Chains A and B, each alone.
Chain A
Amino acid sequence: EAQVTQNPRYLITVTGKKLTVTCSQNMNHEYMSWYRQDPGLGLRQIYYSMNVEVTDKGEVPEGYKVSRKEKRNFPLILESPSPNQTSLYFCASSLDSVNGYTFGSGTRLTVV
Protein backbone atom coordinates (compact mmCIF):
# COMPACT_ATOMS: atom_id res chain seq x y z
CA GLU A 1 0.00 0.00 0.00
CA ALA A 2 1.31 3.42 -1.00
CA GLN A 3 1.77 5.46 2.12
CA VAL A 4 3.70 7.95 4.22
CA THR A 5 4.59 6.57 7.63
CA GLN A 6 5.40 8.78 10.60
CA ASN A 7 6.58 7.69 14.01
CA PRO A 8 5.76 8.13 16.77
CA ARG A 9 2.07 9.05 16.60
CA TYR A 10 2.14 10.61 20.06
CA LEU A 11 5.07 11.95 22.05
CA ILE A 12 5.35 13.78 25.34
CA THR A 13 8.80 15.06 26.17
CA VAL A 14 10.58 17.58 28.37
CA THR A 15 12.14 20.85 27.36
CA GLY A 16 15.64 20.46 25.97
CA LYS A 17 15.59 16.72 25.35
CA LYS A 18 16.54 16.05 21.74
CA LEU A 19 14.05 14.08 19.70
CA THR A 20 13.57 12.80 16.17
CA VAL A 21 10.31 12.19 14.37
CA THR A 22 10.77 9.74 11.53
CA CYS A 23 9.06 9.87 8.16
CA SER A 24 9.23 7.29 5.40
CA GLN A 25 7.44 6.98 2.06
CA ASN A 26 7.27 3.96 -0.25
CA MET A 27 6.16 5.73 -3.43
CA ASN A 28 9.59 6.77 -4.72
CA HIS A 29 8.54 10.41 -4.40
CA GLU A 30 11.16 13.10 -4.88
CA TYR A 31 9.44 15.83 -2.87
CA MET A 32 9.01 15.58 0.87
CA SER A 33 7.95 18.16 3.40
CA TRP A 34 7.20 18.75 7.07
CA TYR A 35 4.29 20.83 8.33
CA ARG A 36 3.02 21.81 11.73
CA GLN A 37 -0.60 22.56 12.44
CA ASP A 38 -1.72 24.82 15.25
CA PRO A 39 -5.22 26.08 16.13
CA GLY A 40 -6.00 29.33 14.35
CA LEU A 41 -2.78 29.20 12.31
CA GLY A 42 -3.47 26.35 9.94
CA LEU A 43 -0.76 24.25 8.34
CA ARG A 44 2.64 25.89 8.10
CA GLN A 45 5.62 24.43 6.32
CA ILE A 46 8.77 23.78 8.36
CA TYR A 47 11.20 22.34 5.81
CA TYR A 48 10.98 20.70 2.43
CA SER A 49 13.22 18.60 0.25
CA MET A 50 13.31 18.34 -3.52
CA ASN A 51 15.58 15.28 -3.59
CA VAL A 52 18.36 13.48 -1.74
CA GLU A 53 20.68 15.94 0.01
CA VAL A 54 18.57 18.91 -1.17
CA THR A 55 16.57 20.67 1.53
CA ASP A 56 15.29 24.18 2.12
CA LYS A 57 13.54 26.19 4.80
CA GLY A 58 9.83 26.70 4.81
CA GLU A 59 7.79 29.28 6.66
CA VAL A 60 8.72 28.27 10.24
CA PRO A 61 12.12 26.50 10.31
CA GLU A 62 13.47 27.87 13.59
CA GLY A 63 14.23 25.17 16.14
CA TYR A 64 14.09 22.32 13.62
CA LYS A 65 16.55 20.39 11.50
CA VAL A 66 16.01 17.87 8.72
CA SER A 67 18.11 15.55 6.63
CA ARG A 68 17.53 13.65 3.40
CA LYS A 69 20.19 11.01 3.08
CA GLU A 70 17.91 8.55 1.31
CA LYS A 71 15.01 9.21 -0.99
CA ARG A 72 12.45 7.44 1.18
CA ASN A 73 13.31 9.01 4.56
CA PHE A 74 12.99 12.57 5.80
CA PRO A 75 13.38 12.79 9.59
CA LEU A 76 12.53 15.90 11.59
CA ILE A 77 14.94 16.68 14.41
CA LEU A 78 14.30 18.94 17.38
CA GLU A 79 17.70 19.49 18.99
CA SER A 80 16.34 21.30 22.04
CA PRO A 81 12.54 21.21 22.10
CA SER A 82 10.64 24.02 23.75
CA PRO A 83 6.97 24.27 24.80
CA ASN A 84 6.15 26.47 21.78
CA GLN A 85 6.93 23.47 19.60
CA THR A 86 3.97 21.62 21.04
CA SER A 87 1.93 20.95 17.92
CA LEU A 88 0.54 18.43 15.45
CA TYR A 89 3.19 17.56 12.87
CA PHE A 90 2.62 16.11 9.42
CA CYS A 91 5.10 14.69 6.97
CA ALA A 92 4.08 14.65 3.31
CA SER A 93 5.48 13.54 -0.02
CA SER A 94 4.75 14.18 -3.68
CA LEU A 95 5.90 12.91 -7.04
CA ASP A 96 6.39 16.45 -8.35
CA SER A 97 5.23 20.03 -7.97
CA VAL A 98 2.12 19.46 -10.07
CA ASN A 99 0.61 16.66 -8.04
CA GLY A 100 -0.68 17.12 -4.54
CA TYR A 101 1.05 15.79 -1.46
CA THR A 102 0.21 12.57 0.36
CA PHE A 103 0.29 13.08 4.12
CA GLY A 104 1.32 10.85 6.96
CA SER A 105 -1.06 10.25 9.87
CA GLY A 106 0.55 12.92 12.02
CA THR A 107 2.59 13.15 15.20
CA ARG A 108 1.10 14.91 18.18
CA LEU A 109 4.01 16.35 20.16
CA THR A 110 3.74 17.85 23.61
CA VAL A 111 6.77 19.57 25.16
CA VAL A 112 6.49 20.24 28.88
Chain B
Amino acid sequence: RKEVEQDPGPFNVPEGATVAFNCTYSNSASQSFFWYRQDCRKEPKLLMSVYSSGNEDGRFTAQLNRASQYISLLIRDSKLSDSATYLCVVNSNSGYALNFGKGTSLLVTP
Protein backbone atom coordinates (compact mmCIF):
# COMPACT_ATOMS: atom_id res chain seq x y z
CA ARG B 1 0.00 0.00 0.00
CA LYS B 2 1.38 3.39 -0.99
CA GLU B 3 2.07 5.71 1.95
CA VAL B 4 0.02 8.57 0.57
CA GLU B 5 -3.09 8.01 -1.51
CA GLN B 6 -5.19 10.47 -3.45
CA ASP B 7 -8.08 10.27 -5.86
CA PRO B 8 -6.42 11.03 -9.22
CA GLY B 9 -9.52 12.73 -10.62
CA PRO B 10 -9.80 14.53 -12.92
CA PHE B 11 -12.14 16.94 -11.19
CA ASN B 12 -13.85 19.14 -13.76
CA VAL B 13 -15.63 22.07 -12.12
CA PRO B 14 -17.10 25.35 -13.36
CA GLU B 15 -15.62 28.67 -12.39
CA GLY B 16 -16.85 29.78 -8.98
CA ALA B 17 -17.46 26.27 -7.70
CA THR B 18 -16.16 24.88 -4.42
CA VAL B 19 -14.10 21.73 -4.71
CA ALA B 20 -12.57 19.47 -2.07
CA PHE B 21 -9.73 16.97 -2.29
CA ASN B 22 -8.94 14.30 0.25
CA CYS B 23 -5.81 12.33 0.87
CA THR B 24 -5.02 9.46 3.24
CA TYR B 25 -1.67 8.51 4.69
CA SER B 26 -0.53 5.25 6.25
CA ASN B 27 2.23 6.27 8.65
CA SER B 28 0.68 7.36 11.93
CA ALA B 29 4.05 8.76 13.07
CA SER B 30 4.09 11.40 10.32
CA GLN B 31 4.43 14.91 11.63
CA SER B 32 4.45 17.31 8.71
CA PHE B 33 1.83 17.64 6.01
CA PHE B 34 1.63 19.80 2.93
CA TRP B 35 -0.33 20.53 -0.20
CA TYR B 36 1.68 21.26 -3.33
CA ARG B 37 0.47 22.49 -6.68
CA GLN B 38 2.04 21.32 -9.93
CA ASP B 39 1.35 22.77 -13.34
CA CYS B 40 2.00 20.62 -16.39
CA ARG B 41 5.73 19.82 -16.77
CA LYS B 42 6.66 22.36 -14.10
CA GLU B 43 8.11 21.95 -10.66
CA PRO B 44 5.84 21.37 -7.65
CA LYS B 45 5.25 24.52 -5.65
CA LEU B 46 4.25 24.64 -2.01
CA LEU B 47 0.63 25.71 -1.70
CA MET B 48 0.29 25.44 2.05
CA SER B 49 1.37 23.51 5.09
CA VAL B 50 -1.35 21.67 6.99
CA TYR B 51 -1.60 22.14 10.73
CA SER B 52 -3.52 20.11 13.29
CA SER B 53 -5.83 23.01 14.01
CA GLY B 54 -6.57 23.52 10.34
CA ASN B 55 -5.49 26.58 8.41
CA GLU B 56 -6.78 28.92 5.76
CA ASP B 57 -5.06 31.00 3.11
CA GLY B 58 -7.48 33.09 1.12
CA ARG B 59 -9.72 30.74 -0.85
CA PHE B 60 -7.84 27.67 0.31
CA THR B 61 -8.51 25.74 3.51
CA ALA B 62 -6.55 22.72 4.70
CA GLN B 63 -7.62 20.29 7.40
CA LEU B 64 -5.83 17.44 9.14
CA ASN B 65 -7.56 14.52 10.85
CA ARG B 66 -4.90 12.54 12.69
CA ALA B 67 -7.31 9.95 14.08
CA SER B 68 -8.46 8.97 10.61
CA GLN B 69 -5.14 9.81 8.97
CA TYR B 70 -6.49 12.02 6.26
CA ILE B 71 -5.84 15.49 4.97
CA SER B 72 -8.18 17.68 2.99
CA LEU B 73 -7.93 20.73 0.79
CA LEU B 74 -10.93 22.94 0.05
CA ILE B 75 -10.87 25.48 -2.74
CA ARG B 76 -13.64 28.05 -2.74
CA ASP B 77 -14.70 30.25 -5.67
CA SER B 78 -12.55 28.32 -8.15
CA LYS B 79 -10.65 30.31 -10.77
CA LEU B 80 -9.46 29.19 -14.18
CA SER B 81 -5.92 29.64 -12.88
CA ASP B 82 -6.54 26.99 -10.21
CA SER B 83 -6.38 24.32 -12.92
CA ALA B 84 -3.41 22.14 -11.96
CA THR B 85 -2.49 18.94 -10.22
CA TYR B 86 -2.62 19.05 -6.43
CA LEU B 87 -0.16 16.87 -4.56
CA CYS B 88 -0.66 15.70 -1.00
CA VAL B 89 2.67 15.36 0.79
CA VAL B 90 3.55 13.74 4.11
CA ASN B 91 6.91 13.49 5.80
CA SER B 92 8.55 10.17 6.53
CA ASN B 93 9.45 8.66 9.87
CA SER B 94 12.83 10.35 9.79
CA GLY B 95 11.29 13.70 8.94
CA TYR B 96 13.85 14.25 6.21
CA ALA B 97 12.07 12.66 3.31
CA LEU B 98 8.72 13.59 1.86
CA ASN B 99 6.26 11.08 0.47
CA PHE B 100 4.12 12.37 -2.34
CA GLY B 101 0.70 11.25 -3.40
CA LYS B 102 0.26 10.81 -7.14
CA GLY B 103 -1.79 13.96 -7.32
CA THR B 104 -5.35 15.01 -8.07
CA SER B 105 -6.00 16.76 -11.34
CA LEU B 106 -8.30 19.79 -11.31
CA LEU B 107 -9.71 21.49 -14.38
CA VAL B 108 -11.72 24.66 -13.87
CA THR B 109 -13.85 25.54 -16.88
CA PRO B 110 -15.47 28.85 -17.89
Contact = CB atoms under 8 A, between A and B. Distances in A.
A40 B32 CA distance: 24
Interface stretch (A11-19, A63-71, A95-103): A95-103
A97 B101 CA distance: 18
B102 interface: yes
Given A41-B102, A42-B103, A43-B87, A58 B42 contact: no
A8 B87 CA distance: 25
Among B45, B46, B96, B101, max chain A CB count under 10 A is at B96
B96 A104 contact: no
A100 B46 contact: yes
A45 interface: yes
B96 A42 contact: no
A35 B87 CA distance: 14
A66 to B, nearest CB: 13
A59 to B, nearest CB: 8
A48 interface: yes
Nearest to A90: B43
Nearest to A44: B100
Interface string A32-52: 010100001111110010100
A99 B11 CA distance: 28
Among the interface residues B34, B43, B101, which one has the most CB atoms of the partner chain A within 10 A?
B43
Contacts of B96: 31, 33, 48, 50, 56, 97
B10 interface: no
Contacts of A88: 41
Nearest to B46: A100
B98 interface: yes
A58 B99 CA distance: 10
A105 B49 contact: no
A47 B89 CA distance: 17
22 contacts: A31-B96, A33-B96, A33-B98, A41-B102, A42-B100, A42-B101, A42-B102, A43-B100, A45-B98, A45-B99, A56-B96, A58-B97, A97-B31, A97-B91, A97-B94, A97-B96, A98-B31, A100-B34, A100-B49, A101-B98, A103-B44, A106-B42
